[in-house]
Amino acid sequence: MMVDKEMPIIVIGGPTASGKTDFALKLAEHYPVEVVSADSRQVYRQMDIGTAKVTRDEQRAVHHHLINIIDPDQDISVADFTQLAHVAIKDILNRKKIPVVVGGTGLYIRALTDGLLDGPAENGELRAQLLADESMAEGILHQRLIEVDPLLAHALHRRDLTRIVRGLEVFEATGTPLSELQKQHGFMEQPYRALKFALSVERPLLYDRINRRVHAMVESGLIDETQLLLARGYGAELKSMKTIGYRQIVAHLCEGLSIDDAISWIQRDSRRYAKRQMTWFRKDKSINWVDCNDDFVSILKWIDRFLFN
């Protein structure tokens, strides 16, 4: 899709529980904004509590795009997201509003703001074989990726099968590590004029927020939500059901894991995920880090200069 490189967008990234939604809602008090979600889990319908999805009241206050767009047994690729986001941004701008891209999925944000590597097409037969191998020996695909693309492998969690399989698939098709192809691409397309922020929170405070958020999710009905998904036929083998929060509650419901252990497991994995998110965003030198306690008036002046000068 053709886009106008002069079109301005604001980006709000950062780790889970850093306050991205609150930041966007505060912006909406001062500018005519609409949010484009860049969250790989909030795309799923029926998965609200475990994904910390914006509430209905928040959605009524500010129009959110790209949430609740697929069912839990469907998948969305980075290319799919990018195309949908371009359409949403064009629609927002055509209505004389300001697009604010909000989310913690760094790959989505990079693909949208810096371009997407045009790699080889998916190989369904190879993917099926790789996943069959993984089902026989958990962790084997991550080990294979270490052998052919150690740089990519060390950036991925061993359970991130989507990206691990893609790395192996690209190497099989091209003979070149995906990390090397990404380096060559450079991600310098920059289809928009973007002002990027990421929210910085002191680690002890962030981890405390994460721990409290997990307890709040359980108290708000995460167990019932997961039970309902299972009852509707969305099995534990689905990508959506393997994400943080749902995977552990499935283990509680189906495998005898105690709820206390499930909560601890969710908290631990969420903290680790937040650490990986911070590492990802800190590699992007175009991002402006702002502390949650920063003077918001100064941030508004910063945005004014970007939008109107």
- Who contacts 217 (Cβ-Cβ below 8 Å, separation ≥6)? 49, 50, 52, 245, 266
Q: 260: how many CB neighbours lie within 10 A of its CB? A: 9
Residue 247: CATH number of its domain: 3.40.50.300
Give the per-residue pLDDT at 8.
93
**CA nearest 170: which of 131, 115, 121?**
121
Give the per-residue pLDDT at 2.
45
Give the per-residue pLDDT at 168.
96
DSSP helix/strand/coil, 208 = helix
What is the number of structural domains in the chain? 2
Residues 298 and 149 in one domain: no
Q: From the DSSP assignment, how many helices (H) and strands (E) are in the chain?
A: 14, 6
The answer to whether residue 3 is domain-embedded is: no
Residues 149 and 298 in one domain: no
DSSP helix/strand/coil, 121 = coil
User: How confident is the prediction along the chain (309 residues), in pLDDT tens digits per residue?
Assistant: 445 557 899 999 999 999 999 999 999 999 999 999 999 999 999 999 999 999 999 999 999 999 999 999 999 988 899 999 999 999 999 999 999 999 999 999 999 998 877 778 889 899 999 999 998 899 999 999 999 999 999 988 888 888 899 999 999 999 999 888 877 765 556 789 999 999 999 999 999 999 999 999 999 999 999 999 999 999 999 999 999 999 999 999 999 999 999 999 999 999 999 999 999 999 899 999 998 777 899 999 999 999 987
Enumerate the β-bridge partners of residue 126: none
pLDDT tens track for 185-225: 655 567 899 999 999 999 999 999 999 999 999 999 999 99
pLDDT tens track for 87-116: 999 999 999 999 999 999 999 999 999 887
Give the per-residue pLDDT at 163.
87
Residue 147: CATH number of its domain: 1.10.20.140
Residues 132 and 261 in one domain: no
